[in-house]
Structure 1
Amino acid sequence: MELKQILVFMDNLEHSADRLELAIDLAKRHRATITGLKVAVHPLIPMRRGHDKEAGEELAQLFRERTAAADVKGAWITADAKALGGGVVEAISHYATFADLVIVGQSEHGSTERRATDFLPEKVVFGSGKPVLIVPYAGRYKSVGRNILVAWKTGRESSRALSDALPLLQAAESAHIFEVNPSNDEVADMEGLRRYLASHGVKAQVETSAITELGIGDVLLNRVSDEGSDLLVMGGYADLHFGTYVLGDVAKHVLRHMTIPVLMSH
């Protein structure tokens, strides 16, 4: 797979500008096209509707100005959530059909206000069928994918994430595959992973670690810091909770405390 179509979700000016910068960086390196997506949710309060319309116009202008200045092909879409039969997640998942990568922002924690974007990243991971690049709401990230850490756990989700990340891994300056507390069989799998990546032109270092004191999520975040990684790739494992699939504890912890962008697939 090549990275040729990037979908970036834009919902507010400050954080959307950061996501757009990342999308532009990736588009220039992979000769890709960017689609900017704003979802109209039709608030009940008339004043709020007017504010959302004005914000949408500002986002569209920002998108067109930034892509033109970077000489990157771009297309802007304002989607009607109701027309697509749902809310923000359903709209993003619909347009993800036509993209190789979806870029969204991390959910903000600690607010008492309910928002349409609460738990949005994990819902898009489950609903879009595409790799999702989640950008932290704190900090600025102008580039991504030069030093990649892949969190590995033998299984479908990690396998899917690794395959989805191949275009980024092939363009990376360095790549590390890291597994915490593997079984003996999983240790043996690491050499197979090395050969698989080498067949795709990716020279990766593989490493396993036995940890008992820290949670796996914290171990991954510490390794990100130690390696100076600018992207974490991981599978989005799902647990069934009261009839609804939710992210497993490790992925949930990483998305809550992430310090760099995370590429997640399910």
Structure 2
Amino acid sequence: MSYKTIVVHLDTSARAQARLHLAIEIAKRHGAFLQGVFAVFAPNPRSFVVMAGTAEYYEEHETVRHEEHGALERLFEAELSRAHVDGEWIDETGNADDELPKYARRADLLIIGQDDPADPESFVADHFPENMVMSAGRPVLVVPYAGSFAHIGRRVMVAWDGSREATRAVHDALPLLKQSEQTTVVTISAAHGNVPGARPPGADIAATLTRHGVKVTTLDLPAAKDVATGEMLLARIDDIGADLVVMGGYGHTRWQELILGGVTRTMLSSMTVPVLMSH
């Protein structure tokens, strides 16, 4: 198993270039075809009609965005050529929430960015990362807006609770896990009703990964009443020295409301390293 088609979402945000460089690095490592899908939030110009001066602002903003789009496309082509990676640039003018999952479903991996509250250009749609995890049908690698990630997957933390979502994530991440120097399967005992002294909860999935040639260790943490599971996992990233977290993405939609599990919400809002999620 390997990633042979990768889709990276690109926009005019400050972190788009860093996300592109990481996507190229992963594509080169796996001999994958890389699709760069450019999709941005585009407000309806009619919504500005009643506000004085907004038409001029909108036109100026579109001019700047067009220039940044052109520069990013040229960078995309130049960097693919330099890295000897095959790929294509795609301009998507439709709603990113609806259109990007269609590209992802024809690929092996989707790479997107975390929402950056300090950068308006990172806004694509409400709850965009969450919606991609829930709707793409493929593993989604979410890259934080803070930090530098030229290479990922040397030391991996797998958040394991035995669920369907966690199982999907682990197997979707196998191409990365097999190349890792060390993978640590982390479980939290009381979070899934383990009996103290019983067989370590991560032992079976660790054995499965070992048969795939993954170098695995396990770490079982006792649950703490005053610390949420997501916070416990975040705290262990530095301890393990992980540069990637693999976990299930938990949530569902009810009418028009997106309801996320607490751990998923915590990771998407407070991640310190890239997180690969599968739903």
TM-score, normalised to structure 1's length? 0.90
Quote the residue 1:174 is aligned against. 182
1:197-228 alpha-carbon deviations (Å, 9 max, x no partner)? 12211121112110313211111111101011
The Cα shift of 1:117 comes to: 3.7
Tell me, in whole angstroms, the C-alpha distance in 1 between the residues paired with 2:41 and 2:126.
Answer: 14
Which amino acid in 1 is paired with 2:202?
M
- Residue 73 of structure 1, CA deviation: 1.3
Instruction: Determine if contact 2:243/2:273 at 8 Å carries over to the other structure.
Output: yes
2:222 equivalent to 1:210: yes
Residues 40 and 78 in structure 1, CA contact (< 8 A), matched pair in contact too = no
**Counterparts of residues 140-159 of structure 1 (less than 5 Å):** 140-159=148-167
| Corresponding residue number in structure 2 for 1:8 | 8
The answer for the alignment partner of 1:235 in structure 2 is 248
State how far apart, in whole Å, the 2-side matches of 1:184 and 1:35 are.
43
Change (3 A) 1:143 1:114: closer
Maintained 8 Å contact 1:107/1:118: no
The CA deviation at 1:178 is 0.2
Tell me the equivalent position of 1:183. Answer: 193
- Per the alignment, residue 113 of structure 2 pairs with 105
1:88 corresponds in structure 2 to 96
In structure 2, the residue matched to 1:78 is 91
Per-residue deviation, residues 8-44 of structure 1 (Å, max 9, x unmatched):
1001253111111111111121111211110265543
Q: Which amino acid aligns with 1:205?
A: T
Deviation larger for 34-43 or 123-132: 34-43
Shift of 1:151: 0.5
Q: 1-side partners of 2:135 and 2:122: how far apart?
A: 21
TM-score if structure 2 supplies the norm length? 0.86
Asked if the contact 1:43–1:49 (Cα under 8 Å) also holds between the matched residues in 2, the reply is no
**1:68 aligned residue:** 81
Equivalent-residue separation in structure 1 for 2:92 and 2:120 (angstroms)? 27
Higher-Rg structure is 2
Deviation at 1:50, TM superposition (A): 3.5
Structure 1 counterpart of 2:244, which letter? L
**Paired letter, 2:194:** N
Q: How many matched pairs?
A: 261
50, 56, 59: which is aligned to 2:72? Answer: 59
Map of 1:84 onto structure 2: none
Q: Does the 8 A contact of 1:13 with 1:55 survive in 2? A: no
Percentage identity across paired residues of the two chains: 36
Task: List alignment gaps of at least 5 residues for structure 1.
Answer: 82-86
* Residue 17, structure 1, aligned to residue 13, structure 2: no
Q: Which moved more, 1:232-241 or 1:69-78?
A: 232-241
Deviations 1:52-88 (A, max 9, x none): 333322221111111111121121100120xxxxx11
Question: In 2, Cα distance between the equivalents of 1:249 and 1:103?
Answer: 22
Cα 1:166/1:252, change in 2 over 3 Å: same
Aligned with 1:256 (options 231, 247, 269):
269
Residues 156 and 62 of structure 1, relative CA distance in 2, 3 Å threshold: same
- Please list the CA deviations of residues 160-206 of structure 1 after superposition, one character each: whole Å capped at 9, or x if unmatched: 10110011001111100001134227955422212211221112111
Letter matched to residue 208 of structure 1: D
Matched with 2:238 is 225
Q: Return closer, same or farther for 1:187/1:62 CA change in 2, 3 Å cut-off.
A: farther
Equivalent residue in structure 2 for 1:130, among 113, 138, 148: 138
Give the Cα–Cα distance (whole angstroms) in 2 for the partners of residues 162 and 95 of structure 1: 22
- Compute the RMSD of aligned alpha carbons: 2.3
Which range moves more in the overlay, 240-249 or 251-260?
A: 240-249
